[in-house]
């Protein structure tokens, strides 16, 4: 019996029980769709991050924070509880190290930003405008207004998504406006709300992607002197160190010098290290989520096995007839495996389409709800997740999903098919 | 008997014992039988006499407990599953309950053994049409078995059994489930196949009116051949 005939025979029996085949297929569809959606989303996520780094991101900038923690982003939280802290004077000390071109400090705080009826909770960054724009010359650029070298105390520069949160021209604030910044001081039991009115002097050009470190579309920037005055602190959350070049030897030697300067009580991160850490976290999450989705495939496989065992029982007599007509055991086996493979293939194809649709939908609407509108997840660490992801369906994922779908079906179809092939003709024919 | 006639089927002290729960059932207790090319043998006997068991064994659907079944001189019980399958392609089986595959049309049912043997599609189509025409069903090729009468279904089954030009036809109560008029027609068909085309036939029946059309009648009783050549014309 040739392959085409086997296939068409298998297909004719699937066609006979459409609803059952459809429901069995649905299991595979869901499993594959879940895996494809997760993989294409996280792949899009990975590409968004990598491109952020590659897009002129300052590879020659090190971030110094206190504490041993992973000073993610702008590292405010990790240094909050430490007794040791960095001050503006430390900036000068670091500047003295060989290989350092520039050293600048940041004092950041989570604040409420009000204009009209709207209030956003965002991170205010106290920076030295001149030094900061030198560090991030490709991203810390004013789209409108200016970047004053000697700013007034009440100067504020807004990230693009703060000025225009919905990206539709309905502006929150623009150059020349006055906006109120409020923050909480005092103890948890007796909080005190303080206010300060700033004058918008500039709005940044849209940076895009999302920010791990460096300027972000969802932050505001004020002079560091003002920040230290109004927040009543002399501590800085982090010191950014620009190197003379981005070679690994320079990075290593400056890192070592900075660490010894502060008796190993600070952590020094390079963007490459951040990217590596981020990548490995993402990989772990990806693996975990794929594993979870894989469970649904397992369930689908058991469903296939179940249905096929029933199908073999129902068709015992048919199998007996086929054998009485001279069909070999292995042909019977192949017919049933073929049925499983068709279900798997069908499920995988639909699942891939469905999964990609799902990931596009989530990327378009799900993430927009989370952070896209500017008032979502804007954490204290400053990693504003106001980003757009385009899900990416790689050929590897497509081929992998197809293989996985078919393999699952065939694997779980193996036992029922084997049972069918081992039926004794005379007993099968007698089966009612 | 002419000396140049070949023996197609021979059984030697054929025994078959089933276990029914823990009770052994002696279905066949030493059957010796010889069927020659061009023969038309009817096997009669009461139910439980072992007729079907004998037929299944000759058709390589079942294996003997003891003794031998020789088809064209080859001992069937010595063959592996694949060889048995190949042997079955040279045997035409017709069952009491037709055993057509319900989801396939008449022509697809007849085509099936040809597909299994691996004939090309064109050859299959051509042969199927000829076979259905030969059993008088040239007009009903695209009907499903469920849309056909018992007699028609049995004729499809005979066409299917003849598809691979079998060495012999085995029929297990072919008229058991159809009315007597259709049964007569069917026996007529079998006789013409036997007389005109030289097809060797071994048929089980409990109906002596049917059996009398055979060249030879064998009576089985309690798993043994009781007498041969009774009631033959």
- Overall average pLDDT of the A343-356 stretch: 94
- pLDDT bin (cut points 50, 70, 90) of residue A212 is low
A230, A194 contact by CB (below 8 A): yes
Provide the pairing of β-strand A142-145 with B7-20. unpaired
B86 chain-A contacts, CB cut-off 8 A: 326, 328
* The pLDDT of residue B28: 92
Residues 6+ apart with CB under 8 A from B17: B24, B25, B26, B27, B65
Structure tokens given for A138 = 């490709």
> How confident is the model over A66-115, as pLDDT tens digits?
865 444 444 444 444 456 788 888 888 888 888 899 999 999 888 998 88
**pLDDT score, position A318:** 94
Q: What confidence score (pLDDT) does residue B217 get?
A: 92
pLDDT score at A399: 95
Q: What is the pLDDT of residue A69?
A: 47
Convert chain B into a string of H (helix), E (strand) and C (coil): CCCCCCEEEEEEEEEEEEEECCEEEEEEEEEEEEEECCCEEEEECCCCCCHHHHHHHHCCCCCCCEEEEEECCEEHHHCCHHHHHHHHCCEEEECCCCCCCCCCCHHHHHHHHHHHHCCCHHHHHHHHHHHHHHCCCCCCCCCCHHHCCHHHHHHHHHHHHHCCCCCEEEEECCCCCCCHHHHHHHHHHHHHHHHHCCCEEEEECCCHHHHCCCCEEEEEECCEEEEECCCCC
Confidence class of residue A296 from pLDDT cuts 50, 70 and 90?
confident
User: In chain A, whose CA is at the least distance from the CA of B82?
Assistant: A328
Q: Which residues of A touch B85 (CB under 8 A)?
A: 323, 326-329
The pLDDT of A287-309, averaged and rounded, is: 89
Residue A89, judged by CB atoms within 10 A of its CB (0-12, 13-18, 19+), counts as exposed
* Lowest mean pLDDT across A57-61, A204-208, A268-272: A57-61
pLDDT > 60? residue A370: no
A380: pLDDT strictly greater than 50: no
Q: Side-chain half-sphere of B13: how many Cα atoms within 13 Å?
A: 2
- For residue A139 the two structure tokens come to 């991203």
User: Which of B53, B61, B77, B107 should we substitute to test contact with A (largest number of A Cβ atoms within 10 Å)?
Assistant: B61
Q: Is the dihedral of CA B167, B172, B178, B184 positive or negative?
A: positive
Which candidate, A333, A404, A299, A382, places its Cα nearest to that of A36?
A404
- Residues with Cβ within 8 Å of residue A124, at least 6 apart in sequence: A108, A109, A110, A111, A113, A181, A183, A219, A220, A221, A222, A227
Chain A residues within an 8 Å CB radius of B113:
325-326
Give the residue from B69, B71, B85, B144 with the most A CB atoms within 10 Å of its CB, the best one to mutate.
B85
Cβ atoms A124, A108 nearer than 8 A: yes
Nearest CA in chain B to A332: B116
Nearest by CB: A426 against B61, B87, B164: B61
Whole-number pLDDT of residue A213: 65
Beta-ladder partners of A191: A186
The answer to whether the Cβ–Cβ distance between B118 and A1 falls below 8 Å is yes
Q: Please enumerate residues of B whose Cβ is less than 8 A from a Cβ of A.
A: 56, 59, 61-62, 81-82, 85-90, 93, 95, 99-101, 103-104, 112-113, 115-118, 160, 164
* CB nearest B81 (choices: A13, A318, A329): A329
Tell me how many residue pairs between chain A and chain B have CB atoms under 8 A apart: 64
Confidence of residue A344 (pLDDT cuts 50, 70, 90): very high
Q: Does A3 touch chain B (CB under 8 A)?
A: no
What lies within 8 Å, CB to CB, of B148 at 6+ separation is B106, B140, B156
Confidence of residue A403 (pLDDT cuts 50, 70, 90): very high
Task: Report the Cα B15 to chain-centroid distance in Å.
Answer: 20
B171 within 8 A of B142, measured Cβ to Cβ: no
First to last CA, chain A: 27
Among residues B34, B11, B42, the alpha carbon closest in space to that of B173 is found at B42
What contacts A44, CB < 8 A, 6 or more positions away? A359, A363, A389, A390, A391, A392
A345–chain B nearest CA distance, Å: 24
Q: Tell me, what's the ipTM?
A: 0.92
Per-residue pLDDT 10s for chain B (233 aa) are 444 578 999 999 999 998 888 999 899 999 999 999 999 999 998 888 889 999 999 999 998 999 999 999 899 988 999 999 999 999 999 998 899 999 999 999 999 999 999 999 999 999 999 999 988 888 878 899 999 998 899 999 999 999 999 989 999 999 888 888 888 888 998 999 899 988 999 999 988 888 989 999 999 998 888 877 654 44
pTM for this prediction: 0.72
Could you say which of A16, A317, A325 has the minimum Cβ distance to residue B116? Answer: A325
Residue A411 to residue A407: CA distance in whole angstroms: 6
Q: What is the arithmetic mean of pLDDT over A402-415?
A: 94
Nearest to B56 among A9, A13, A426 (CB): A426
**What percent of chain A has a predicted confidence (pLDDT) above 90?**
35
Contact yes or no for A327 and B85 at CB 8 A: yes
Token pair for A37: 């959606």
Q: Does A327 touch chain B (CB under 8 A)?
A: yes
Phi, psi of A242 (to 5 degrees): -95, 135
Please provide the average confidence, as pLDDT, over all residues in chain A.
84
Query: What pLDDT is recorded for position A387?
Result: 57
Which of A57, A106, A398 has the alpha carbon at shortest distance from A233?
A: A106
Please tell me the number of Cα atoms within 13 Å of A15 on its side-chain side.
8
A325 in B contact zone (CB under 8 Å)? yes
Q: At what angle do helices A329-361 and A18-54 cross, to 10 degrees?
A: 50
Give the pLDDT band (50/70/90) at residue A58: low
């Amino acid at each position: 019996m040739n392959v085409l005939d086997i296939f068409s025979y298998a297909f004719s029996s699937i066609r006979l029980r459409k609803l059952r085949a459809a429901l069995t297929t649905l299991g595979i569809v869901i499993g594959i769709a879940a895996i494809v959606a997760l993989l294409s989303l996280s792949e899009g996520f990975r590409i968004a991050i990598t491109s952020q780094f590659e897009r002129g991101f300052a590879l020659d900038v090190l971030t110094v924070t206190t504490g041993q923690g992973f000073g993610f982003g702008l590292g405010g939280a990790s240094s909050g509880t430490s007794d040791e802290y960095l001050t503006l004077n430390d900036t000068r000390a670091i500047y003295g190290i060989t290989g350092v071109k520039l050293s600048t400090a940041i004092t950041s705080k989570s604040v409420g930003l009000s204009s009209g009826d709207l209030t956003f909770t965002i991170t205010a960054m106290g920076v030295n405008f001149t030094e900061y724009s030198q560090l991030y010359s490709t991203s810390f650029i004013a789209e409108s207004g200016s970047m004053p070298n000697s700013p007034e105390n009440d100067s504020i520069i807004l990230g693009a998504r703060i000025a225009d949160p919905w990206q539709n021209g309905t502006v929150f604030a623009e150059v020349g406006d006055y906006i109120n910044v409020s923050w909480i001081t005092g103890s948890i039991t007796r909080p005190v709300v303080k206010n300060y009115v700033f004058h918008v002097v500039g709005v940044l050009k849209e940076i895009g992607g999302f920010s791990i470190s460096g300027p972000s579309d969802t932050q505001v920037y004020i002079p560091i002197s003002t920040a230290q005055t109004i927040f009543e602190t002399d501590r800085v959350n982090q010191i950014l160190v620009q190197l003379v070049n981005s070679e690994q030897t320079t990075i290593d030697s400056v890192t070592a010098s900075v660490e010894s300067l502060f008796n190993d009580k600070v952590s020094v991160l390079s963007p490459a290290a951040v990217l590596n850490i981020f990548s490995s976290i993402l990989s772990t999450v990806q693996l975990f989520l794929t594993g979870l989705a894989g469970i649904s495939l397992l369930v689908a496989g058991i469903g296939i096995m179940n249905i096929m065992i029933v199908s073999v029982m129902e068709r015992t007599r048919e199998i007996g007839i086929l054998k009485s007509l001279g069909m070999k055991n292995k042909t019977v086996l192949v017919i049933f495996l073929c049925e499983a493979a068709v279900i798997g293939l069908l499920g995988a194809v639909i699942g891939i389409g469905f999964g990609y649709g799902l990931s596009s939908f989530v990327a378009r609407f799900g993430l927009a709800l989370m952070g896209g509108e500017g008032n979502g997840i804007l954490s204290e660490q400053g990693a504003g997740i106001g980003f757009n992801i385009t899900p990416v369906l790689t050929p590897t994922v497509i081929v992998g999903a197809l293989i996985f779908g078919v393999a699952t079906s065939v694997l779980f179809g193996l036992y029922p098919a084997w049972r069918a092939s081992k039926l004794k003709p005379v007993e099968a024919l007698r089966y009612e | 008997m002419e000396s140049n006639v070949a023996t197609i089927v021979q059984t030697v002290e054929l025994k078959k014992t089933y276990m029914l729960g823990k009770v052994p059932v002696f279905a066949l207790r030493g059957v010796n039988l010889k069927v020659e090319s061009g023969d038309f043998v009817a096997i009669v006997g009461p139910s439980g006499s072992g007729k079907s068991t004998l037929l299944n064994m000759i058709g390589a659907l079942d294996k003997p407990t003891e003794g031998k079944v020789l088809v064209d001189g080859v001992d069937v019980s010595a063959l592996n599953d694949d060889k048995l399958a190949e042997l079955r392609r040279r045997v035409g089986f017709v069952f009491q309950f037709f055993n057509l595959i319900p989801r396939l049309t008449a022509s697809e049912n007849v085509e099936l053994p040809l597909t299994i043997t691996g004939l090309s599609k064109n050859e299959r189509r051509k042969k199927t049409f000829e076979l259905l025409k030969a059993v008088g069903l040239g007009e009903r090729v695209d009907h499903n078995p469920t849309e056909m009468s018992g007699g028609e279904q049995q004729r499809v089954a005979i066409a299917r059994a003849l598809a691979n030009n079998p060495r012999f036809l085995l029929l297990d109560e072919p008229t058991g489930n159809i009315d007597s008029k259709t049964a007569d027609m069917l026996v007529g068909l079998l006789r013409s196949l036997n007389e005109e085309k030289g097809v060797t036939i071994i048929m089980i029946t409990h109906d002596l009116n049917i059996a009398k059309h055979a060249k030879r009648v064998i009576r089985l009783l309690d798993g043994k051949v009781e007498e041969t050549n009774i009631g033959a014309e």
